[in-house]
Each structure stands twice: as structure tokens, then as C-alpha cells.
Amino acid sequence: MKTKGADLIWFDGECLKWEEAKIPVTTHALHYGTAVFEGIRGYSTQNNLYIFRLREHMERLHRSASVYSLPMKYSIDELCDATLDLLRKSNVKESCYIRPLTFVGLHGIDLNITKNSPTHVTIIVFPFAKYFKSEGINTCISSWRRIHDTSTPPMSKAAGNYLNSILATQESKYNGYDESILLDREGNVSEAAGENIFLIRNNVVYTPHIGTSALEGITRDTAITIAKKLGYEVMERPIPRTELYFADELFLTGTAAEITAIVSVDRHSICSGREGPITKQIRETYSKIVTGQIEEYSRWLTPVW
């Protein structure tokens, strides 16, 4: 993080001052990327601060850890409670980003991570509003391919996976784009550097299935649920690169990005360079859900206060 967030960080069961939450430089995760994490949003309203799909995120954290046999010292319920405790003790009432992280500590230099390896869990929170600075972003197809399940499992939200995304992001920024889109090993669309992707043609909503190395995103699942509720057919299938250029609308989903329209791909204009009507419907519905304005989805919200 570039700047200090809340005054406290939850670290292995304790709320420590930001400056006191330290790890040694010999930490295994620092050398080998042996860590899994989550990104969670807290949304401020006039009456409360709501954490969006907190339990689902902690469930995925546990699943990610299990892929690499990282011992999880805390249950899903304990992690949810710890998040609430941290926000309350830090007196956080503005919209924020929450980062739970599980990592291997002083293990040595060998690579044999087991259930007996020493792990730590931390939860960090900091103020957060918009990720992308505009309502519509310009994208490019990355020359880097998305990692594949046969090498580094994309379904586990592991820290090391994001080196792939960093390369793609650097390339897109260098070439003047807002974000990159990665193809899978077969050349089909996988996802953006940090987000899932959706394509709309003839009022049907499409998204790559997880077999294309796409993360099983929680915001992705939310967008699918919203689109179906709005009456649109949603299909998960392979999407070839060229179909992106033919799209009526494109949008990204992610905890940080929320619902963000793509207005161009490789300088091919999408929806005349603006957010499309279906994307707008989904985005506006999403915004209402996360701020507690639609009672039907209140099960997805955890109030802090």
C-alpha cells in the first residue's frame, strides 16, 4: 500500500498498530510468493458501512489456501468476526478496501510446504473509492498469455499468480491503455489483468467459463445473478479474440473495478465509445445492491455498525 490505511492491522488474532505489524525479510512468502489473499469492499451509506459478500470471500480464501496446503489457523467465522472487529476498533465508517492475506512465514528455503508449515494471517483495511478513473476504459489484448491450470492454478487466488497480471498491466500502460485483456493457452479470451470480462451481443450476455483460466470471481457471480434477474440470457462459453471487436457492449467485473464498461479494444470502438445500456443497467443495480437499497440482496451485506 502506498500510504497508511486504518491505524490498526489484524495480525494473527490481535489488532496491532500499523507500525507494529512487521515480518522478517526471511519470510518464505517474500521469496517464493507462498501467499493467498482476497479483496473485499466495504460500502459507506448514510446509516452504516456494509461489507459486500464477506463470507464468500473468506470461503474462497480457505479454498485458495487448500490448493497449496497452506495451513489456515482461523475458521471462516473467525475471519469474518476478525474483519468486523478490526473495522470497529479502527472506527472505519467510510468506503474501504479490505485485504485478508495468508502467507508462509519462517519456513526456510526449501519448497516443501505442508500442513505443518508456519503460516500467518493478516487483515488490512484502507479507504478506497474508484479503481478506474472513468466510466469507460480503453483496453488492449496483451501479448502475454494467461496462466494455465496445468502450471499455476488460476482458481486459487495466489499472490504469485499476479506476476502474470503485472506483466500484462505494464504492457498496457506503456502503450497508452487503461487495462489489458489476456487470452488463454488456446487463444480464447480469459480475463483482464485483474478483472473478469463480459461480452454482450444481440441482448445476450456472455462470459468466458472458468475452463479458460478465468478466476471464479465473486463480482462475476454477482453480475451473472443481476443480468439474469433483469431478464437477460447469460451464457458461459469460449470467446475468441475477434468477437470482442464485434461486441455490442463489453464490461469488466471485480472487487476493485466493480462494473466498468470497456469502450475500446485495440482501438476498435465498442458501443460508439460509451457505456452501453445493458452495462449501465447492471452497474446501477450493482450500486444499489452494495449500498443496501435492494432488500432481496441484503443477505450479501454484513453491517459493521
Query: In this predicted model, what pLDDT tens digit does every residue of 83-131 receive, in sequence order?
Result: 999 999 999 999 999 999 999 999 989 999 888 899 999 999 999 988 8
pLDDT digits (tens, 9 = 90+) for 138-197: 999 999 999 999 999 999 999 999 999 999 999 999 999 999 999 999 999 999 999 999
Architecture of domain 8-127: 2-Layer Sandwich (3.30)
pLDDT for 209 equals 95
- 133 is an active site residue: no
Evaluate whether 286 touches 258 at the Cβ level (below 8 Å): yes
pLDDT for 274 equals 96
What SS3 state is found at 98?
A: strand
Phi, psi of 86 (to 5 degrees): -65, -45
Any idea which of 4-18, 48-62, 221-235 has the lowest mean pLDDT?
4-18
pLDDT for 129 equals 82
Residue type, 229: K
- 135: confidence class by pLDDT, cuts 50, 70, 90: confident
Residue scoring higher pLDDT (202 or 1): 202
pLDDT for 107 equals 92
Evaluate whether 276 touches 248 at the Cβ level (below 8 Å): yes
Domain with CATH 3.20.10.10 in the chain: 136-290
pLDDT for 202 equals 98
The distance from CA 1 to its chain's CA centroid, rounded to whole angstroms, is 16
**Beta-carbon neighbour count of residue 221 at 10 Å?**
14
pTM of the model: 0.95
Architecture of domain 136-290: Alpha-Beta Barrel (3.20)
What SS3 state is found at 10?
A: strand
Residue type, 20: E
Domain with CATH 3.30.470.10 in the chain: 8-127
pLDDT for 1 equals 60
Cα torsion 151, 154, 155, 160 to 10°: value is 90
Among candidate residues 93, 157, 228, 280, the one labeled active-site is 157
Given a cut of 70, whether residue 225 has pLDDT beyond it is: yes
pLDDT digits (tens, 9 = 90+) for 229-287: 999 999 999 999 999 999 999 999 999 999 999 999 999 999 999 999 999 999 999 99
Given a cut of 80, whether residue 5 has pLDDT beyond it is: no
Beta strand spans in the chain (E): 8-11, 14-17, 35-37, 40-44, 49-52, 96-104, 119-127, 136-145, 179-183, 189-192, 196-201, 204-207, 233-236, 249-254, 258-265, 268-269, 301-303
Burial of 36 (0-12, 13-18, 19+ CB in 10 A): buried
- 2: confidence class by pLDDT, cuts 50, 70, 90: low
